[in-house]
Structure 1
Amino acid sequence: MKAHQFQDASQFYAQVKDYLLSQEALHNLLLALSNALIQNPERFKEKPYLATVDADGDIVAVALRTPPRNLVLSQIKDLQAVEVLAQDLYLSCNSLPGIMAPIDEAQVFALVWRSLTSQSYEMKMTLRTFKLEKVQMIASTTGYLRQATEGDKELLKNWNEAFALEALGKIETDPEHWAERVLQQGYAYLWQDEVPVSIACRGSFTPNGVRVNMVYTPPEYRRKGYASACVAALSQTLLNQGNRFCFLFTDLANPTSNHIYQKIGYQPVGDWQQYSFV
């Protein structure tokens, strides 16, 4: 087995596209990041790590990192490739904040990285990937979906900050910059009752689908069906635009959101784990 690094995102994508598309839903994050590196390189201030591992001419693993974020791994056919990737990454940059990968791959990488660096690790989150092809009917609630406008900017900033603290325990991106970006690109959608009560955002595209993210309802508006209605309406909007699938990630520690998404029609695809290195 041998690791190969790529300096050009387009060349990397050309090599890994078929491998990732064999399980498009599971690999939606890797596909979306690859697309973002090609279409919007200005978003990324540091050089990305783009790599594959080949065995007898066939790709058996894909890795991508956009510093300062975590490394993301594909599903890997032969887990020996994890060690090859870890050694290659260690030679390139011997520090790493964390790893996000399918469960087996994440666990093996964490162990190998500890042996290389003596860094301890801790599991931060277990996530589940979901895919939707058809929205299911759900109980109706008052309100309607609308695209966020410039007048919503302060609300978007506040909700992004609250979402990050609740879901991640820390603020990883500047809420002001995030709000400006999603407004400029038309990514943010609000469920409007008498006032805005819930948010869901359109994420990056894959060749056949699009990710839904940043689903948040302030505590005072919860348990009224707003989040379900917002995600269902946005998902239908995205399907109507010609996407075959919608994808999203859920935190398995939050059974409420997992139940909500499955009622809408999202089907589980695979589980991921996120580790941080200390």
Structure 2
Amino acid sequence: MTSENPPASSRTPVPAASPGWRLTGDLDLFLDRGSVFLLSEPALHTVLLSVTDTLRARGLQAYGEGAPLFGTYADADGTVRGAFLWTPPHRVSVSAVGPEAADSLALLLADFGPDLPGVAAERATAEAFARSWRQHTGASAALGMRQRLYRLDTLTPPEPAPPGRDRVATEADRDLLARWYEEFCEALGERPGMAPHAWADSRIVYGGATVWETPDGTPVAMAGATRRVAGQVRVAPVYTPADLRGRGYGGGATVAVTRAALDAGAAEVLLFTDLANPTSNRLYQRLGYRPVGDFAQWDFTRRDFTATATP
């Protein structure tokens, strides 16, 4: 990786000068190079857009102490056709790219650290990267969560609505949000993306978490929403404690944050589901969400590092 400074005219898209991947630790430079590409398909690039937005708002260590790494992939005429970001200690997130680009990225990242925990990407890209990672590092790769990205068509609230009401979470809900976020991650078998209280703080500051409470004021579910980026908001996460499920509370909270996003001017509202959970997939379709594409997470376990970097 070469060290580069942002151009004087920051925010001006800068195409890569040669084909292949260009890596940087500079968030502004990454966005200068990749913004046109990322904004060309904002729904498919929702994770890259929302994570970079959080890094801007909360600092480069928002997701952990490790230094983030970014990259863009250009074709022969210098047009950016792919992008990735890696916020250690989490999985690398990659846009959809062809097998050749996935393979070259795996080889590059193997040189940075064979302990990469995994990859998250559009299904075919994730599979190609995982296959190359095995080849270049000798690590094992196991398919983890399979996800489906949904986009709102027409919001269709459930009838009847669950008892109670929604309200935007406040500082008084900080401990509750942190606990529920941690429980949500545990239920998925996932490492929290941020420290639980830091996550709660990051959502409270812009009204990005909504609590559903029963008529007596007892909180029973929550739904989060990202900041609006490129005209879109992604609903995440939606959580109801296990002993309160099946009563429509999560659906009520989802409708509330979806409506709030639309009222605030979002052009699109998105969400991911776990394909292993047919109940949530049916619920979101009943609420008016329609499939966009399938994604996958692969988890890597290091054996003996045998990266095959070209001499």
Contact 1:215/1:231 (<8 A) preserved: yes
Partner of 1:24: 42
Instruction: Indicate the residue corresponding to 2:207 in structure 1.
Output: 186
**Residue 68 of structure 1: aligned partner:** 89
Higher helix share: 1
Aligned residues: CA RMSD: 1.8
Between the aligned residues of both structures, percent identity stands at 33
Secondary structure of the structure 2 residue equivalent to 1:134: coil
1:270 and 2:288 aligned: no
SS at the partner of 2:271? strand
Counterpart-to-counterpart distance in 1, 2:53 and 2:84: 14
Q: Do residues 114 (structure 1) and 134 (structure 2) align?
A: yes
Following the alignment from structure 1 to structure 2, what is the Cα–Cα distance between the partners of residues 159 and 67?
Answer: 23
Map Cα deviations across residues 60-93 of structure 1 (whole Å, 9 max, x no partner): 32111111111011011x3211111112212233
Unmatched tracts of structure 2, length 5 or more = 1-18, 302-311
Deviation of the 1:54 alpha carbon: 1.5
Tell me, yes or no, if the aligned pair for 2:224 and 2:237 is still in contact at 8 Å.
yes
1:149 equivalent in structure 2: 170
The code of the aligned residue for 1:29 comes to V
Q: CA deviation at 1:134?
A: 3.4
Tell whether 2:150 aligns with 1:126.
no
Deviations along 1:166-212, whole A, 9 cap, x unmatched? 12255564333333333344322101112111100122432111111
The higher radius of gyration belongs to 2
Q: Distance in 1 between matches of 2:191 and 2:94?
A: 23
In 2, Cα distance between equivalents of 1:31 and 1:152: 27
**Which residue in the other structure is 2:101 paired with?**
81
TM-score computed with the length of structure 2 as normaliser: 0.83
Residue matched to 1:255: 278
Paired with 1:173 and 1:40, the residues of 2 have a C-alpha distance of 11
In the alignment, residue 215 of structure 1 is paired with which amino acid? Answer: V
CA contact (8 A) 2:210 2:256 kept: no
Normalization by structure 1: what TM-score? 0.93
Residues 52, 60 of structure 1: 8 Å contact kept: yes
